[in-house]
Homo-oligomer: A and B are copies of this chain.
Amino acid sequence: MKKLAVGIDIGGTNTVFGFVDEQGNCIAKSSIETAAYDNAVDFADVVSEHIMSIFKTLSDSEIIGIGIGAPNGNYYTGTIEFAPNLKWKGIVPLADLFKKHFDLPVLLTNDANAAAIGEMVYGNAKNMKDFIFITLGTGVGSGIVVNGEMVYGHDGFAGEIGHTITYPEGRLCGCGRKGCLEAYCSAKGIKATYLEILNGKCHPKGTSDEDITPKYIYDQALQGESAAIKTFEYTGEVLGLTLSNSVAYTSPEAIFIFGGISNAGDLIFTPLRKSFENNLLNIYKNKIKILPSGIKENDAAILGAASMIWKQVNN
């Protein structure tokens, strides 16, 4: 009997889910449109039906549990709390809604924490007890692991490095405060940096604001465009400074960088590592690795969610 964990990743637009074995292979998956469901009960019903119908096609298998990564997910309560990008308002008892369909452990946490556990179970943090995991995407998420355990904090919401203030009175962040890391290193932040650097010059020929994505800036940088290269330098500088502060909290063995922007390779990692080392307190210098994530991006969200179950089983 092949043991499988179900991983569910809930995003504002889509929800992806799949079956993951102990080695981190996603052997079957599917998705539905999150935004199509006005209430979470219907959503959980439909996802559960999908899971069961896929499961019926898998021979000689059993489900050992369900892991869910969700925005504003609270590990302790299994609830999603006041998620700004979901239609479901207030506090949604999502783990309980799935438990109605499955007599199995259901674990829920935020997407960045799930991804960090994925790194620990399947990725480059396999033998590490202390690390920090950063996701660079629409927002800047993070998961902190101390002594082999995810840090959830008193209320279940620890690990919001994207909303630490790097520059007091700096750029306005989506959270309403000023100078958060996210205001500089999210997709929107990187675009803002690029437009700032281009200031006074025209947009690149034939592009509108919408065309300017981190991918576009990356392509420009590859072609040697100075503004694009400077954008990655500045992004790395801000991230390096912020992560040098992070080290003073948990003194990790490594910091993993995950998400679209991290695919820019040396363009981002070189200035990032330089700024990080320059800003580190003496006792931490030349000790801490900054590494790309070892999880393949394609199935990363499903793997991260499922890994919570595998981690619990193996503890």
Contact = CB atoms under 8 A, between A and B. Distances in A.
Nearest to A178: B279
Nearest to A244: B165
B251 A165 contact: no
Contacts of A151: 146-147, 249-251
A164 B245 contact: yes
Given A159-B248, A163-B281, 11 more contacts: A81-B283, A146-B146, A147-B149, A147-B152, A155-B251, A157-B283, A159-B251, A164-B248, A165-B245, A176-B282, A249-B250
A29 interface: no
B130 A175 contact: no
28 contacts: A82-B283, A128-B154, A129-B154, A130-B153, A130-B154, A130-B158, A144-B249, A146-B153, A147-B151, A153-B250, A153-B251, A155-B284, A155-B287, A157-B251, A157-B283, A157-B284, A158-B248, A158-B249, A159-B248, A159-B249, A160-B248, A161-B248, A163-B248, A175-B281, A175-B282, A177-B281, A249-B249, A249-B250
A150 to B, nearest CB: 10
A81 B251 CA distance: 15
Interface of A: 72, 81-82, 128-130, 144, 146-147, 149, 151-161, 163-168, 175-177, 241, 244-246, 248-253, 279, 281-284, 287-288
Nearest to A167: B168
A282 B83 CA distance: 12
A18 to B, nearest CB: 29
A62 B86 CA distance: 61
B244 A158 contact: no
Contacts of A252: 153-154
A253 to B, nearest CB: 4
Contacts of A177: 279, 281
Nearest to A280: B177
Contact of A251 (B154, B241, B244, B251): B154
Contact of A154 (B158, B161, B241, B253): B253
Contacts of A283: 72, 81-82, 157, 160
A89 to B, nearest CB: 15
A245 B163 CA distance: 8
